[in-house]
């Protein structure tokens, strides 16, 4: 049964942190290479700071990316405690149908947990990816080399499903989510089977969910007096089980990745600290000797941006933490609270007017060249084509417009704000566990409408330019990238002619 005990809320000074230091830490985060979404700081089991950058909010679902791996590692730990498997169990004994011809007959659950299976590749996404996983070349003996392997993390979820005989989300709900206070309907809003590689990096959770997960480890595997994970499993998971120094070869900017890997989590520069970690800076950092957890959701610009966030923790926050409580500083605490209540990502540009709006409103444009759609494609396995046969129609009104796109059975009506703010939309996206999309637009020239679409649950953005001409429409843009990582975007180019 779902049981959520709310954490006490206190001032930073009550737990030995100056409010001014936290304000400086937040300033440093906002001035680094990231778009901040959420922040929670816990010390001694109490929340001393929390804030979300609008339109992000406390209970809003947010992609975990590879922080998903720590949830899957936790699922393995629970199964171990229940006696469903052992860390030295061979994978080919769990999946005997793949034993014949397997190149990984000596790989155990332990090797999979610490990225030490000896492979240097991942199988391509397909219906037969598990079979293909067992056929990969084993370049190194188990646990003698490190290779970051999302497919291996996904296999952990399927191991739990195999030994428990129930889907991993059903297995985790009563054993983990309900007990540590995570609403499974937020983290798993649809009970759909993973599409190829989901349990390696596709889970969604709130900023607080991730903090609650890591508090379980900080507390030695116990919650509310009940043991969830064996003490030994927690020790192994949060200490070096595989050296990860080779990360410096392909990922030199991520210096906190070179210090060793436990069970689906990383060790950190700060002595004894460890973290759950997902792309774009999804962090839940545990600092045991300070009895402290920092949970961050954001969109950091690549490995360099994510490392800057971690460096901010090490240099702008932790040095100011004291052993004992500090005298209350009501002025500084009040200023920090005001700051945390007024956080927001950058407002869209305000340029709502153009004479072209009245001329093109209600016209239907038929797509004739290039590919265009109003979906996010970050999670989709389908290849994009250059075939566009749908229609577009803009309907303008004061301070806003609707953009209607139709293609076969696909129908999306996007409500776009032109008032310098975001307009919330909801519509299902194929193969993605997300439906919330914020849209904002402005007239960049008299005949060009710029529109930004931001899928907050998936942390994926799309920027589009619609250039209206006498008999048609030209579309350019960039899509399927994390905010702040425009250089990784997929280029979009399409044309449409006036149908009516």
Q: Average pLDDT of each block of 10 consecutive residues along the chain (500 residues)? A: 87 98 98 96 98 94 93 97 98 97 97 98 89 96 96 94 93 95 69 52 90 98 97 98 95 96 98 97 98 97 94 98 96 97 94 96 95 74 58 97 93 96 91 86 98 93 95 93 84 90
Q: Any idea which residue has 């901040």 for tokens?
A: 36
pLDDT, position 39 = 98
pTM score, whole prediction: 0.94
Sorted by sequence, the CB contacts under 8 Å of residue 57 that are 6+ apart come out as: none
DSSP 132-143: HHTTS-B-S-TT
Sorted by sequence, the CB contacts under 8 Å of residue 305 that are 6+ apart come out as: 32, 33, 34, 281, 484
Per DSSP, what are the bridge partners of residue 9? 47
Task: Please give the Cα distance from 272 to 274 (Å, whole number).
Answer: 7
The first and second tokens of residue 289, run together, are: 């000797």
Query: Is the previous residue joined to 148 through a cis bond, with omega within 30 degrees of 0?
Result: no
**Axis crossing angle, helix 150-164 with helix 68-81, rounded to the nearest 10:** 30
Task: Please give the Cα distance from 222 to 203 (Å, whole number).
Answer: 23
Element (H, E) at 68: helix 68-81
pLDDT, position 499 = 86
Is 120:144 a contact under the CB 8 Å cutoff? no
- Alpha helices, DSSP H only, in 295-383? 302-312, 330-341, 356-360
pLDDT, position 387 = 61
pLDDT, position 29 = 97
- Alpha helices, DSSP H only, in 363-433? none
């Amino acid at each position: 049964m779902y049981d959520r005990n709310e954490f006490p809320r206190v001032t930073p000074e009550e737990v030995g942190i100056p409010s001014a230091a936290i304000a400086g830490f937040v300033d440093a985060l906002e001035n680094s290479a990231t778009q901040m979404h959420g922040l929670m700081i816990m010390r001694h089991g109490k929340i001393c700071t929390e804030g979300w950058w609008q339109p992000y909010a406390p209970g809003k679902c947010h992609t975990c990316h590879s922080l998903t791996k720590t949830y899957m590692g936790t699922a393995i730990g629970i199964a171990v405690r229940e006696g469903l498997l052992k860390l030295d169990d061979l994978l080919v004994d769990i999946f005997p149908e793949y034993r014949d011809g397997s190149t990984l007959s000596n790989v155990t659950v332990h090797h999979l947990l610490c990225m030490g299976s000896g492979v240097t590749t991942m199988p391509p996404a397909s219906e037969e990816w598990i079979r293909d996983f067992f056929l990969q070349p084993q370049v190194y003996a188990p646990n003698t080399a490190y290779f970051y392997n999302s497919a291996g993390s996904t296999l952990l979820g399927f191991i739990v499903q195999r030994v428990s005989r129930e889907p991993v989300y059903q297995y985790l709900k009563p054993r983990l989510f309900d007990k540590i206070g995570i609403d499974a309907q937020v983290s798993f809003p649809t009970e759909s089977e993973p599409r190829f590689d989901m349990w390696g990096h596709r889970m969604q959770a709130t900023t607080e969910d991730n903090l609650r997960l890591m508090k379980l480890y900080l507390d030695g595997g116990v919650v509310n007096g009940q043991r969830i994970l064996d003490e030994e499993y927690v020790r192994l998971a949060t200490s070096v089980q595989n050296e990860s120094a080779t990360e410096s070869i392909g990922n030199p900017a991520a210096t906190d990745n070179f210090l060793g890997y436990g069970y689906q989590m990383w060790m950190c520069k700060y002595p004894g600290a460890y973290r759950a970690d997902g792309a774009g800076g999804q962090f839940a950092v545990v600092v045991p000797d300070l009895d402290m957890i920092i949970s961050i959701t954001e969109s950091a610009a690549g490995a360099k941006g994510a490392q800057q966030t971690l460096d901010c923790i090490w240099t702008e926050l932790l040095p100011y933490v004291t052993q004992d409580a500090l005298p209350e500083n009501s002025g500084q605490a009040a200023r920090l609270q005001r700051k945390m209540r007024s956080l927001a990502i950058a407002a869209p540009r305000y340029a709502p007017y153009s004479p072209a709006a009245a001329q093109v409103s209600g016209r239907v444009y038929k797509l004739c060249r290039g590919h265009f759609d109003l979906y996010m494609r970050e999670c989709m396995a389908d290849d994009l084509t250059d075939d566009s046969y749908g229609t577009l129609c803009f309907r303008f009104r004061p301070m806003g417009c609707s953009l209607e796109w139709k293609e076969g059975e696909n129908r999306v009506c996007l409500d776009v704000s032109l008032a310098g703010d975001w307009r919330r939309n909801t519509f299902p996206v194929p193969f993605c566990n997300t439906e919330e999309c914020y849209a904002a637009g402005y007239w960049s020239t008299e005949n060009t409408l710029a529109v930004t679409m931001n899928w907050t649950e998936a942390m994926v953005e799309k920027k589009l330019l619609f250039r209206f001409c006498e008999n048609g429409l030209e579309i350019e843009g960039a899509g399927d990238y994390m905010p702040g990582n425009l250089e990784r975007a997929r280029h979009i180019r399409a044309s449409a002619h006036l149908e009516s």
